[in-house]
Amino acid sequence: MRIVVASGKGGTGKTTVATSLALIAAEQESVRFMDCDVEAPNAGLFLNPVLDTRKDVGVLIPKVDEAICTYCGKCAEVCQFHAIAVIGKKTLVFPELCHGCGSCTLVCPENAISEHLDVMGVLESGRGAQGIDFSQGVMNVGEPMAVPIIRELKKWEVANLPFIEIRDAPPGASCPVVETIRGADFALLVTEPTPFGLHDLKQVAEITHELGLPTGVVVNRDGIGDNAVQAYCDENDIPILMRIPMERRIAEAIASGTPLLEAAPEYRPYFQSMLEIIVAAVGA
Amino acid sequence: MKLAISISGNTLDSPFNARFGRAAAFCIVDTETGAWEAFDNPALSASGGAGVQASQFVAKHGAQAVVSGAFGPNAFDTLAAAEIEMYLAPGNEAHTAAEIYEMFKAGQLTKAEAATHEGHHGVHH
């Protein structure tokens, strides 16, 4: 079972909720945790994994053998991203535009194109707290595309699918978030009861709706803002599975890297029942 | 020689468009005869790589020089590979393509010797 934790808005508490959900699930079952926020992966700060396995990732960039190339231009024609151009007797490759789809290599009638890995980041994995099978993608600074790294992270199954896989999504509602959500069985959307939380919640809820994914909401910093998130969820039949009130002691603990479950053990039953609801929703 | 001018519209009287990759169209003028033709820019709707696509487009139409308001790194590299000269015209005042053409003939435009701005897709390395 794959649960993705997303939010739209940054800083709502995705990682706080995802890591505590993983910790409670790991008390009974095998859990894999995947930090898909490859631009700023930080779930490891709560789960303290020993990262002992690494793998370079990137996209396969074409390399043209000028001795064989006849400058027919078929590669440039097929490229949807204009990452390869044939001008007179020159073939130019623009690695930063390439999505690594391999179409140019396939269509080249002379077999003049070979592919080489253009490293964009690294995948890391290891055991974390309570034996959680932890993995994360780390994108190199300055890289424009997170999706290929997230895609590789999802494919990088060190072991078989455990009972539960939890994916911590990046903020936003664009391609990296869609890639993280794709293939999941349940979306848990963490929001805050403010116009900003609601605005971005709507964007992500539209994505999960479009993908036909069962969805639930966690309202973090409950008590601030207004009731518009509640109204939106009621209107769209999205259940609110948990509320975490705005409390200084929780904020302080999380700011020092203590998981919510440890800082506020009275939330254990709420996480437990939320997990049960999710398992039941996916099973049905 | 053939000169391409980035424009919004489809005639020599259309306004000059200071963007290259995302210009609405290109007016291609034959500087010997004064004959011109306008072509919609296929790169206008490209999801990425508009500069590369627009460069290949003007090269295919035989342009040996191009006037725009800015050239990104990918457009610059592609136009340079095609040995197309790049000229810069001011985009902050309204001009028609015909006026830009007169400025070109009068030698009032400066040549771009390097990309005028960074790419829109971030820096790769």
What per-residue confidence (pLDDT) applies to B90? 87
Distances (CA, A) of B118 to A72, B8, B74: 30, 23, 9
Q: Hey, what are B64's tokens?
A: 């040996």
Whether A89 contacts chain B with CB within 8 A = no
Residue A113 and residue A62 in contact, taking contact as beta carbons nearer than 8 Å? yes
pLDDT at position A160 over 70: no
3-state SS, residue A130: helix
Residues in chain B closer than 8 A to A81 (CB atoms): 47-49
Task: Measure the CA–CA gap between B30 and A50, rounded to whole angstroms.
Answer: 67
Band (A75; pLDDT cuts 50, 70, 90): very high
ipTM, 2 dp: 0.83
Percent with pLDDT over 70 in chain A: 98
Q: How confident is the model at residue A219 (pLDDT cuts 50, 70, 90)?
A: very high
Q: Which chain B residues are within 8 Å of A118, Cβ to Cβ?
A: 124
pLDDT at A159 over 70: no
Q: Give the per-residue pLDDT at B118.
A: 80
Question: Does A88 contact B at CB distance below 8 Å?
Answer: yes
Instruction: Determine, for residues A144 and B122 on separate chains, whether the beta-carbon distance falls below 8 Å.
Output: yes
Q: Which pLDDT value is given to residue B116?
A: 86
Contacts of B77 in chain A (CB under 8 A): 92, 94
With a cut of 70, say whether residue A284 has pLDDT above it: no
Q: Does the structure show a pLDDT above 50 at A269?
A: yes
CB-nearest partner of A92 from B53, B77, B125: B77
- Confirm or reject contact between A76 and chain B (CB < 8 A): yes
Torsion of CA B85, B90, B96, B100, to 10 degrees: -40
List of domains in chain B:
2-111 (3.30.420.130)
In whole angstroms, give the CA distance from residue A139 to residue B106.
50
Structural domains of chain A in order of their starting residue, each with its CATH number: 2-57+120-283 (3.40.50.300), 66-111 (3.30.70.20)
Lowest mean pLDDT among A47-61, A88-102, A149-163, A176-190: A149-163
Whether A197 shows a pLDDT value over 90: the answer reads: yes
Q: How confident is the model at residue B93 (pLDDT cuts 50, 70, 90)?
A: confident
Label the pairing between strands B2-7 and A240-245: unpaired
CA angle A50, A54, A56 (to 5 degrees): 150
Please report the residues numbered 23 through 52 in chain B whose beta carbons come closer than 8 angstroms to any beta carbon of chain A: 43, 46-50, 52
Per-residue pLDDT at B124 = 41
Q: According to DSSP H, which parts of A100-194 are helical?
A: 103-107, 147-155, 175-181
Q: List the single range of A62-76, A89-103, A196-210 with lowest mean pLDDT.
A: A89-103
Cβ–Cβ < 8 Å for A82, A94 = yes
Alpha carbon distance A168, A5 (integer Å): 5
Whether A81 has its CB under 8 Å from any CB of chain B: the answer is: yes
Q: Locate the chain A residue with the closest alpha carbon to B119.
A: A96
CB A120 within 8 A of CB A148: yes
Radius of gyration of chain A (CA): 22
Taking the C-alpha atoms of residue A182 and residue A279, their distance in angstroms, rounded to an integer, is: 18
Of B52, B82, B122, the CB nearest to A88: B82
Residue A199 to chain B, least CA–CA distance (Å) = 26
pLDDT at residue B122 tops 60: no
